[in-house]
A and B are shown apart, each in its own frame.
Chain A
Amino acid sequence: MKTIFFTGKGGVGKSTLAATLAWQLSQAGNNVLAVSFDPAHNLGDIFGKRLSHRKKRITDTLYLQEADLDKAAGTYIEENIGILTQIYSYTRAFNLDVYFKVLRHSPGVEEYAAVTTMEQIFREERTFDYIVFDTPPTGLALRILALPNITITWVDRLRRIRRQILEKRYTIHNISGKYIEKGVRLPFEEKEDPVMQRLEILFKRYMNLYKMLKGAENTIAVVFNPDYLSLRESQRIVTGLSDLQLPLRVAFDNKFTPEQQEVACEVEQQLFPGTDHVDVVRVPMHGYAREGAYQMSFDLTKHFVP
């Protein structure tokens, strides 16, 4: 299974190129799933279909899905509010449990929902040959891609402290047999400790995701236009990706016309000065973005098929 992420500034043609690539790959006989994480959700518009959180069959080999981050965030919060309300059930007596709902608006929940959805897709949709992701605009996309790494660092540190706590408890238990504190039996083995178990699950899950993102099967493509505004933002993406050590392999100079030859050369030069591992592809202007724009004659697949 290969995965491809399309990143870039809003309006440069990410969704169109993602749709085109998905279409062309599926026409070549591959099983393809295209997922849009962009809240603007242009993917459905391009194919002229109404899409939802569940994948929709377009042809025998092509499925489309729009990740509903609001909904995913909602589900996640509801689940956790459920647990919290169960534990702090006495708050119900004062009608205070509704206040847990404010968690829905905490920062980072949207990114978390996106990463969780992405991880779920990676885990469950293994039958597809290609999964094409259309990402949200730069800032959010970079935060989403950075999240697995940040999470791994945190979870790993917390795991180490937790292990030390458990070791101490084990020592106390061994010496005095006393591990009951005020009637509560504290777990001292890793397998018994729910906190450690939860940390382990989180660690494994994010490690897998991180490996997938960094692995040889994953390609990140940046889309830009031959103009200076898109150059600045694309530079931020290129730097951001290299900071995260994620593999940027293809760059699409989209909406290229012969009149822009000079600017295009300069933009490409500034964006990738002397790098040879990025494949820079000029995609000619192919008419206005509209429904059916995925049926473009320009072949994108050759940059993704080994």
Chain B
Amino acid sequence: MSHGGKNRVIRRALEVIRSFFSTMSMAHRQQVVELTTLEMRELENMFVLLLMGSFTGLPAPPSFISVELMPYLEHELKVVNRRAENSSDALAEMAGFFDVT
């Protein structure tokens, strides 16, 4: 094998190794992001539940706090709605979240 040929093989091998590690790190990162997102969803859900507790029969803060924050809570309300819709099937919710089909 010529000298140049050897170099090409080494370079190729390095690329493979690099892409292996970068894929691994990407996978790890994605896992972390997914877990954090799940945690965040639950927090958002709790935040709105606490704030709007009177709708579900929980003790609620003074109603004016809810009223003052309501206009900004569109996203959180969507999260709560989705949680409520899927609450009877937590496994499906989880599977859906991790894109398991």
Residue ranges of A at the interface with B (Cβ–Cβ < 8 Å): 76, 80, 83-84, 87, 103, 106-109, 112, 147, 150-151, 154-155, 157-158, 161-162, 164-165, 168-169, 171-172, 175-176, 178, 181, 184, 186, 194-195, 198-199, 202
Residues of B within 8 A of A (CB): 29-30, 32-33, 36-37, 39-40, 43-44, 46-47, 50-51, 61-65, 67-75
Q: Which 9 A-B pairs have the closest CB atoms?
A: A168-B40, A154-B61, A194-B72, A112-B64, A83-B71, A165-B43, A195-B72, A176-B33, A161-B47
| Partner among B30, B61, B64, B69 whose Cβ is within 8 Å of the Cβ of A195 | B69
| Residues of A close to B46: CB separation below 8 A | 161
CB closest chain-A residue, reference B61: A154
Known contacts A176-B33, A195-B69; decide if A168 and B39 are in contact (CB<8 Å): yes
Which residue in A109, A162, A184, A186 is a CB contact (below 8 Å) of B64?
A: A109
The answer to whether B68 touches A175, judged by C-beta atoms less than 8 angstroms apart, is no
Q: Is the CB of A165 within 8 A of B44?
A: yes
Contacts of B63 in A (CB 8 A): 106-109
Out of A80, A108, A158, which one reaches B50, CB within 8 Å? A158
Q: A158 touching B67 by the CB < 8 A rule?
A: no
Given contacts A168-B39, A186-B75, A198-B69, contact A150 B29 (CB under 8 A): no
A103 to B64, CA, bound (A): 10
C-alpha gap A108/B62 in the complex (Å): 7
Q: How far is the CA of A202 from the CA of B71 in the complex (A)?
A: 15
Known: A107-B63, A176-B33, A195-B72. 4 other contacts (CB 8 A): A158-B65, A164-B43, A169-B40, A171-B32
Contact of A87 among B62, B65, B68, B71 (CB under 8 A): B71
Give chain A residues whose Cβ lies under 8 Å from the Cβ of B74.
Answer: 87
Q: Is the CB of B29 within 8 A of A168?
A: no
Q: Are A162 and B40 in contact (CB under 8 A)?
A: no
Q: Which residues of B contact A165 (CB under 8 A)?
A: 40, 43-44, 47
B70: chain A residues at CB < 8 Å are 84
Shortest beta-carbon distance from B4 to chain A in Å: 39
A158 touching B61, Cβ below 8 Å? yes
* Complexed CA–CA distance, A224 and B34 (Å): 64
Which residues in B have their C-beta under 8 angstroms from that of A168? 36-37, 39-40, 43
CB nearest to A151 among chain B residues: B62
Cβ contact within 8 Å between B33 and A76: no
Q: Residues of B contacting A109 with CB < 8 Å?
A: 63-64
CB distance from B99 to the nearest CB of A (A): 14
Decide if B65 touches A202 in the complex (CB within 8 Å): yes
Q: A158-B50, A184-B75 are in contact. Are A151 and B65 (CB under 8 A)?
A: yes
Q: Are A175 and B29 in contact (CB under 8 A)?
A: yes
